Amino acid sequence: MSTDKAFYLTTPIYYVNDAPHIGHAYTTVAGDVLTRWHRQRGEEVWFLTGTDEHGQKVMRTANLNKVSPQDWVDRLVENAWKPNWKSLNIANDDFIRTTEPRHTERVQKFLQSLKDSGHIYAGKYEGPYCVGCEEFKLPGDLIEANGEKLCPIHSKPIELVNENNWFFRLSAFVEPLLKHYKDNPDACQPESARNEVVSFLEGGVSDLSISRSTFDWGIPVPWDTDQVVYVWFDALLNYATAVGLGDDPKSPGGAKFTQTWPADVHLVGKDILRFHAVIWPAMLMAAGLAVPKKVFAHGWLLVGGEKMSKSKLTGIAPSDITDHFGVDAFRYYFLRAIPFGTDGSFSWEDMSARYTSELANDFGNLASRLTAMVEKYCDGVIPAVAKDASLESALGATVSKADSAMCALDFQGGINSIMEFCKRVNGYVTENEPWKLAKDSANQLQLEQVLYNTAESLRALAVLLNPVMPGTCEILWESLGANVTMGPISKQKVSDVSRWGQLPAGSNVTKTAVLFPRLDVSE
């Protein structure tokens, strides 16, 4: 194992009372693109996703389906969640389940340590609870309709809870948290999310009930086994239990923790921001552990103006889209069309338009034109290395801009800069008209220079777009013969992309199937 600190990124662990929809896929694809980008920067990377399997909602859903909670979550994880991530080409390094012994044992050990150090005490909880959110609600969080208090996210009535529980002294960490966000503004992004967290903290924070006594589907509290750990207190710990929290530093788990912790980025939806930017860092502070470097809360995908939700029948399965557009177009569209951090509406029409103009016409057509012309005019072999100063300069600026944007989680900005370079290359081909040059043998040298510069530009585009569209870029890479002459596309470094002239003369170009075929409008 390398001694270098890995770039450690997590998605939320998703609640498994149903199959994933495109809102879940949006977060996971974003995490995959960012970690693939960091890998192509030559960094050590650890990418974690997983499932949150305890709590009242899972128990009730399992009961309705007349199976045990464990059978219910096992079935969903194996038949719905893991296959979805595989089909979307998600390259996660680990998948954590909160029912795994490695998680439950480390949660109990962590909880006992907080109790021993005085951060946990016995108390009584009375108040509103949303089973859908698995969240204790503040009265001010609720909306009212027809005389009932409703959860604003699920639009369903809350339940009143009255239990003797164990409490975490969350209020003790208000000042340390405020200082943390003042000193480290990047620790909670975007700025609107940080402002929300600071405002919440400044409004006063109550201690948190961290156990439940009225049902048993959860991790037993180690010193009071009649109670189970509150599902959020259990779930948040996954980010640390998955990499060896509490293990002996000399053990493999302890070494992994040293290499990965603290997390560089926790990706979350904005509806779970308070858990991740208030409760989670307070838990870590109480344990004397480093807090995450960044919690990034992205916006919601909206359907008909509302957050996507299975309970409201607005949850769209990823396969509904990938079956029509393909996996790479799915990955591209959501990060290209919506500024990461803001809400965005999914539109079939907008996706169709971008697919045709940006992927099929700008990118796919450039690749197919180039391979066809090299085959026709150069016997399928890349001609001698040539250089166009304008393209070389544009590529250098593109790589710099794209790298800065992607590392700042500005996926739209990063992809836009790459696609602007793609347009630039298309313009270069149009201006130089290689099909006209080919009509006169006296122009052969100029023709070969145009084709080399176009091929070399595609070499760069393949590497830059590989984190976003790995399946397509792998095909393009092989089509250029670069896998034979330059090695795997995944080993090409972002920092080296702009060095002009890397695609060797003599590489054998092969025509492939169209990268982005014409859409079937009859569907």
Fold of 359-506: Isoleucyl-tRNA Synthetase; Domain 1 (1.10.730)
Distance of alpha carbon 39 from alpha carbon 41, whole angstroms:
5
Distance of alpha carbon 483 from alpha carbon 490, whole angstroms:
10
Q: Which of 333, 351, 318 is nearest to 87 (CA)?
A: 318
Give the per-residue pLDDT at 306. Answer: 59
For tokens 């859903």, the residue is 61
How many CB atoms neighbour CB 141 within 10 A? Answer: 17
Environment class of 194 (CB within 10 Å of its CB; exposed 0-12, middle 13-18, buried 19+) = buried
Measured at the CA of 227, the angle between CA 59 and CA 310, to 5 degrees, comes to 25
**What is the band of 305 on the pLDDT scale with cuts at 50, 70, 90?**
low
**What is the band of 312 on the pLDDT scale with cuts at 50, 70, 90?**
very low
For residues 306-312, average pLDDT? 52
SS3 of 173-228: HHHHHHHHHHHCHHHEECHHHHHHHHHHHHCCCCCEECEECCCCCCCEECCEEEEE
Whether 294 is catalytic is no
Give the per-residue pLDDT at 315. Answer: 63
Give the per-residue pLDDT at 300. Answer: 87
Beta-carbon contacts of residue 205 (< 8 Å; ≥ 6 apart) = 170, 171, 174, 278
Distance of alpha carbon 163 from alpha carbon 168, whole angstroms:
15
For residues 371-384, average pLDDT? 96
SS3 of 82-135: HHHHHHCCCCCCEEEECCCHHHHHHHHHHHHHHHHCCCEEEEEEEEEEECCCCE
Is pLDDT of 309 > 60? no
Share of the chain above pLDDT 70, in %: 96
Check 38, 57, 119, 133 and give the catalytic one: 133
Cα 189 to its chain centre, rounded Å, is 15
Whether 266 is catalytic is no
For residues 115-136, average pLDDT? 87
Is pLDDT of 111 > 70? yes
Whether 310 is catalytic is yes
Check 82, 154, 312, 324 and give the catalytic one: 154
For tokens 């480290």, the residue is 184
Distance of alpha carbon 467 from alpha carbon 403, whole angstroms:
12
Check 119, 137, 151, 270 and give the catalytic one: 151
Give the per-residue pLDDT at 523. Answer: 47
pLDDT per residue over 417-458, tens digit each? 999 999 999 999 999 999 999 999 999 999 999 999 999 999
Greater confidence (154 vs 1) lies with 154
pLDDT per residue over 188-227, tens digit each? 999 999 999 999 999 989 999 999 988 899 999 999 999 9
Check 21, 38, 103, 401 and give the catalytic one: 21
Distance of alpha carbon 370 from alpha carbon 372, whole angstroms:
5
Check 24, 54, 256, 298 and give the catalytic one: 24
Check 54, 103, 307, 401 and give the catalytic one: 307
For residues 379-405, average pLDDT? 97
Whether 378 is catalytic is no
Beta-carbon contacts of residue 87 (< 8 Å; ≥ 6 apart) = 318, 319, 322, 327
**What is the band of 331 on the pLDDT scale with cuts at 50, 70, 90?**
very high
For tokens 């552990």, the residue is 289
Give the per-residue pLDDT at 310. Answer: 47
Distance of alpha carbon 76 from alpha carbon 516, whole angstroms:
32
The phi-psi region of residue 365 (left if phi > 0; otherwise alpha if psi is between -120 and 50; otherwise beta) is alpha
Cα 498 to its chain centre, rounded Å, is 26
Peptide bond into 262 cis (omega under 30): yes
Query: What's the full length of the chain, in residues?
Result: 523
Whether 151 is catalytic is yes
Is pLDDT of 294 > 60? yes
pLDDT per residue over 262-271, tens digit each? 999 999 999 9
Distance of alpha carbon 449 from alpha carbon 457, whole angstroms:
12
Distance of alpha carbon 318 from alpha carbon 335, whole angstroms:
15
Distance of alpha carbon 449 from alpha carbon 463, whole angstroms:
21
Whether 324 is catalytic is no
Check 54, 103, 130, 180 and give the catalytic one: 130
